[in-house]
Amino acid sequence: MIVVMEKNASDGEIELVQERLRRENFQIHLSQGVERTIIGAVGDRSRVDLEFLEALPGVEKVVPIMKPFKLTSREFREEDTVVPVGDTCIGSGALQIIAGPCAVESREKYLEIAAMVKERGATMLRGGAFKPRTSPYSFQGLEEEGLKILAEARELTGLPVVTEVMDQRSVDLVARYADVLQIGARNMQNFFLLREVGMVKKPVVLKRGPSATLEEWIMAAEYVVSGGNPNVIMCERGIRTFETYTRNTLDLSSVPVVKRLTHLPVIVDPSHGTGKWRLVEPMARAAVAVGCDGVMIEVHQNPAEALSDGPQSLTPENFAGLVNNLTRFQENGRS
């Protein structure tokens, strides 16, 4: 449930409500907006009399939340969450373009592509140091050496870096180098990992699992937020359907639905969502049209020689065209 405090409620009145809820073993989450202070309370609602709560000084109303997700819901927070990343933000209205290769293959190649995508309009860098692959014989990433290369690219370009964390043992290591921790689709319901990143003060990109419903995806975000980390960025990357022409089926309806049900920003990955480089730009334009806060694009100097995901990677030249077209498309949509 949420307790909505009156506009001019004092600090003492807010603390009184929190103390009453803590006494009944509720988990408290305080959200102080410009107009209102909202106290989110997660626990056994039968342990407290709602009418008694509403009678406390400074309380405007008490609203039960019926949805299984509480802290990520619009009922808990009406304002959009804006996630700060370096000198920029995700969810502030400006379209963020996260770009780079699927994997960090070598220092020379990554620093080169990082400079290329920055010059062509990227606002953040992506690249995998740890690569979960279907085959154990495929390239698995450079691990900590890859993280060091990502950090060097950040220093050279000034752009924040996003990279995947594979398990709870490597969270501290990845957080030491990266600006944003990515939870991959295969790990979306790795609840131990979700709890661990919930305790880290770094933004988290949470990719939708290939067979996850929207509610399951949002509940995964709830694990992170309930752990104390409110900076979750949802990422639609396609789901598994009966269609085999594309790698996945990019479910763009999820963007307006998740933005209506939750206060979290939503980005889209049309590279994994389609698996075909020719489809990346049209689906990126479609993602912008439905209101996404950013796109994640795979770019490689020579996709034919990429160690992973070459068929869905854009060349730097194609990426430059995508950025120009997305910028014009977004400007035309606002005019």
Q: What is the CATH number of domain 83-334?
A: 3.20.20.70
What's the pLDDT band for 333 if we cut at 50, 70, 90?
low
**Which pLDDT score is estimated for 237?**
98
Cα angle for residues 147, 149, 152 (degrees, 5° grid): 115
> At which residue do the structure tokens 């692959």 appear?
133
Structural contact between residues 80 and 263, judged by C-beta atoms closer than 8 angstroms = yes
* Sequence letter at residue 228: G
User: How big is the chain, counted in residues?
Assistant: 335
> At which residue do the structure tokens 């989450």 appear?
29
* Sequence letter at residue 112: E
Q: What does the pLDDT average to over 134-161?
A: 90
Residue 169 is inside which H or E element, if any? none
pTM of the model: 0.89
For residue 67, give the nearest of 253, 261, 264, 263 by alpha carbon. Answer: 261
For residue 77, give the nearest of 131, 124, 35 by alpha carbon. Answer: 35
Higher-confidence residue: 36 or 125?
125
**Which pLDDT score is estimated for 334?**
54
- In sequence order, the 6+-apart residues with CB closer than 8 A to the CB of 40 are 1, 2, 28, 29, 30, 31, 70, 71, 76
Backbone phi, psi, residue 142, to 5°: -90, -5
Residue 30 is inside which H or E element, if any? strand 27-32
Strands ordered across the beta sheet of 2-5 = 27-32, 37-42, 2-5, 59-63
Query: How far, in Å, CA of 166 to CA of 185, rounded?
Result: 11
Neighbours of 302 (CB within 10 A): 10
**Quick one: tokens of 44?**
């056994």
pLDDT tens-digit series, residues 51-101: 889 999 999 999 888 788 999 999 888 899 999 999 999 999 999 999 999
Which three-class secondary structure string do you get for 234-289?
EEECCECCCCCCCCCECCCCHHHHHHHHECCCEEECHHHHHCCHHHHHHHHHHHHH
**Which pLDDT score is estimated for 141?**
80
The superfamily CATH assigns to domain 2-63 is Phospho-2-dehydro-3-deoxyheptonate aldolase; domain 1 (3.30.70.1140)
Domain with CATH 3.30.70.1140 in the chain: 2-63
Q: What does the pLDDT average to over 32-49?
A: 82
Burial annotation 184-201 (CB, 10 A radius, 16+ → b, else e):
bbebbbbeebbebbbebe
Query: How far, in Å, CA of 112 to CA of 134, rounded?
Result: 28
Burial annotation 239-274 (CB, 10 A radius, 16+ → b, else e):
beeeeeebbbbbbbebbeebbebbbbbbbbbbbbbb
